[in-house]
Amino acid sequence: MVALGAGRLVDAAIAGDVGTATGWVVVAAVALTGELMLGHFAHLYYFELAEVTDEEFNRELLRLVNGPHHLDRADDPAFADRVDLLRQDVMQVRTTVQTGLQLGATLVQTLLTAVVLATVAPWLPLLALVAVVPVLLGRRAESGLQQTREAQSPTTRSIRALRRLAANPVSQKEIRLSGSADFLVDRQRALLESYAGAMSRADVRYALLRSGGQLAFGVAYAGAVVGAFALARAGRASVGDVVLTITLATQLSVQMSAGVELLGSVHRAAAGLRRFVAMRTEVEADTALPPSGPLPARSADGIRLSHVSFRYPGTDRTVLDDVDLHLPAGTSVAVVGENGAGKSTLLKLLAGLYRPTSGQVLVSGADLATVSPDRWFERTAALYQDFARVELSLQHSVGIGRLEDVDAPGPVRHALSRTGAPIADELAVEDVLGLGYADGRDLSGGQWQNVGFARALMRSDPLLLVLDEPAAALDALAEQRLVDAYQANAAEVAARVGGVTLFVTHRMSTVRLADRIVVLDAGRVVEHGTHADLLAADGRYAELWSLQARAYAES
Ligand SMILES: Nc1ncnc2c1ncn2[C@@H]1O[C@H](COP(=O)(O)OP(=O)(O)OP(=O)(O)O)[C@@H](O)[C@H]1O
């Protein structure tokens, strides 16, 4: 409208028609003011819409990452790369909404420009067609850049992991003590250089492609301006038409380059959206399990592992190899073996966090593969070596172990007292845990572990109670308290629902308290039985036992 006003203004001025010229000045001024005001109000709506969309995508990402019941995906490096990319997509959501709307406005403007150009000469809108060339080449360049970025995912993931390592107070201590800061910085620099190298090569390649498109438009632009002059010379167009053509052709070029940029962002967003949809489809397929058979209130047969083998996703090493075991209802079972023998893996498999690569896990006769993971999780209680430090109030940090009691202080205090540790005397349930809060209290490693133990003990009727290295962070007195608590809890679980208590420890004095002992070696069960049976067998267990007994005797 502004360009149209300017063109007609020139014609009226040349004709000496002051009234018409003034009229066009007013039209141009009103059009310009209107455009600016509309832009301002549109911006407010962009902002609001962008914020709502951003929040929705963040929630969806959280749901997707935590959606699968099993951890197979979380351990898969390819899955981690995809989550990384989705995280970047989510960060772009605000700008994407804005650019999407701007792209719509640019398309309408371009269409109007082409219509007005047609009033000067019917062939002038062809300029808009030529303007599509840089758009298409720009799009090609954008998707090429996107592919390069995706191919660089493993490198960017490693860079992020190093950044996390450097920012984590726990690792900072070790980095300082080991003097490995320079080594880590060099490693990060090498990764950044490799990433920057690959990206800048791709940038140059695709910048050339974009320039080719812009050159094609430049030639067409020059042709249009020369054509308009020729028409004016032949008396088939006015001077105002020439002004109009130059203004609109320039505007078209600006609109097109903005369009290329905007389309690039929209294209990137579309790729992100496809990633979201693909991930959601996979997660839904993963969570859509056949209807689950009921789990008995009380276990009769305990837990059986039938020819269970396991490999972590993305690896080809068999971590558990043809494990065949029966853990009778109500028994306490100790799992022993050297580092890396597969003890923690066995526990995670039994807890349903992973699915066996082959073989079956049967809970009181029900194949875990046919039981909905949520139902099984409700009937398991676990404290892992790498337990979570849940930085909330003590009430919530423990209470989330049984969501229906998350706000009830009674059950939380009961669970705390069942740990056998004096943590309920040291802290009030309202106390906020962790240094992430201004009034938060940091706990010692052993105290955090007791909070984790209490969280596990919130489950009242577990068919499986799992304790992985429960004494790792405890002093001798606390360990003795834990062993007593463990025995009391195992007996309670056994009496109430026939639950099996499974624990991993390297302390043989605790191991001997178990009803049964399973000895793992390189993923295979090499011995199992009672302490007395295994000593009599004089095998691997007897060897481990005498090694520790000798160490104590000598000290
Ligand atoms: N998430 C994972 N992805 C790939 N491999 C893994 C993963 N977790 C463990 N492993 C591998 O599986 C093997 C068994 O590990 P696991 O933690 O079960 O052993 P463990 O007997 O509990 O050892 P430790 O006594 O040191 O805790 C190891 O070789 C380990 O490297």
Instruction: Give the separation between CA 377 and CA 360, rounded to whole angstroms.
Output: 17
Q: Which two tokens stand for residue 127?
A: 């300029």
In a domain, 137, yes or no: yes
The CA 344 to ligand 1 mean position distance, Å, reads 7
Does residue 178 lie within any of the structural domains? no
Q: Are residues 468 and 345 in the same domain?
A: yes
Q: Whole-number mean pLDDT of the chain?
A: 83
Q: In this structure, what token pair is assigned to residue 28?
A: 């141009």
Q: How far is CA 117 from CA 29, 106, 127, 156, 174, in A?
A: 21, 16, 9, 48, 69
Same domain, 9 and 57: yes
Give the pLDDT confidence score for residue 551 in this predicted structure.
Answer: 65
237: three-class secondary structure by DSSP: coil
Residues 352 and 395 in one domain: no
Question: The CATH number of the domain where 470 resides is what?
Answer: 3.40.50.300
Do residues 7 and 123 share a domain? yes
Model confidence over 354-400: pLDDT tens digits?
889 999 999 888 888 888 887 888 889 888 877 888 888 999 999 98
Mutation to probe ligand 1, out of 316, 345, 348 (largest number of atoms < 8 A from CB):
345
CA-CA distance, 351 to 392, in Å (whole number)? 25
In a domain, 159, yes or no: no
Asked if residue 332 and residue 304 are part of one domain, the reply reads: yes
* Domain boundaries, position 359: 296-379+464-477+500-555
Q: Which residues of the chain have pLDDT under 50?
A: none
Tell how far the Cα of 42 is from the centroid of ligand 1, in angstroms. Answer: 55
What is the structure's pLDDT at 443? 86
CA distances for 29 relative to 19, 33, 106, 468, angstroms: 15, 6, 21, 76
Residue 420 burial by Cβ neighbours in a 10 Å radius (0-12, 13-18, 19+): buried
Ligand 1 geometric centre to CA of 319 (Å): 7
Give the whole-angstrom CA distance, residue 245 versus residue 163.
54
53 and 86 within one domain: yes
- 258 shares its domain with 358: no
pLDDT value of position 288 = 63
Say what the pLDDT of residue 361 is.
93
Asked, for residue 309, whether it belongs to a domain, the answer is yes
Task: Identify the helix (H) or strand (E) that includes residue 503.
Answer: strand 500-504
Model pLDDT, residue 253:
75
Nearest CA to ligand 1 atom 18: 342
ipTM field: 0.97
Domain boundary among 226, 249, 284: 284
269 & 326 share domain: no
Nearest CA to ligand 1 atom 4: 312
Q: Is residue 195 part of a domain?
A: no
Query: Using a 6 Å cutoff on CB, does residue 293 contact ligand 1?
Result: no
**pLDDT for 2:** 62
Give the CA diameter of the chain: 120
Distance of CA 519 to the CA centre of its chain: 37
Q: Which residues touch 454 (CB under 8 Å, ≥6 apart)?
A: 398, 401, 412, 415, 416, 418, 419, 423
Rounded Cα–Cα distance for residues 160 and 382 (Å): 30
270/312 same-domain check:
no
| Number of folded domains that form the chain | 3
Q: Is the CB of 472 under 6 A from ligand 1?
A: no
Using the mean position of ligand 1's atoms as its centre, give its distance from the Cα of residue 340 in Å: 5
Q: Write down the pLDDT at residue 291.
A: 60
- Asked whether residue 189 is domain-assigned, the answer is no
CATH label of the domain that carries residue 36? 1.20.1560.10
* Residue 339 placed within a domain: yes
Q: Is residue 342 lining ligand 1, measured as CB closer than 6 Å?
A: yes
Burial category of 36 from C-beta neighbours within 10 Å (exposed 0-12, middle 13-18, buried 19 and up): exposed
Q: 404: burial class by Cβ within 10 Å (0-12, 13-18, 19+)?
A: exposed
Q: Does one domain contain both 278 and 241?
A: yes
Asked whether the whole model's pTM tops 0.95, one would answer no
Cβ of 75 less than 6 Å from ligand 1: yes
Distance of alpha carbon 75 from alpha carbon 56, whole angstroms: 26
Query: Do residues 110 and 228 both lie within one domain?
Result: yes
Beta-sheet strands, E only, within 142-231: none
Residue 213 beta carbon below 6 angstroms from any ligand 1 atom: no
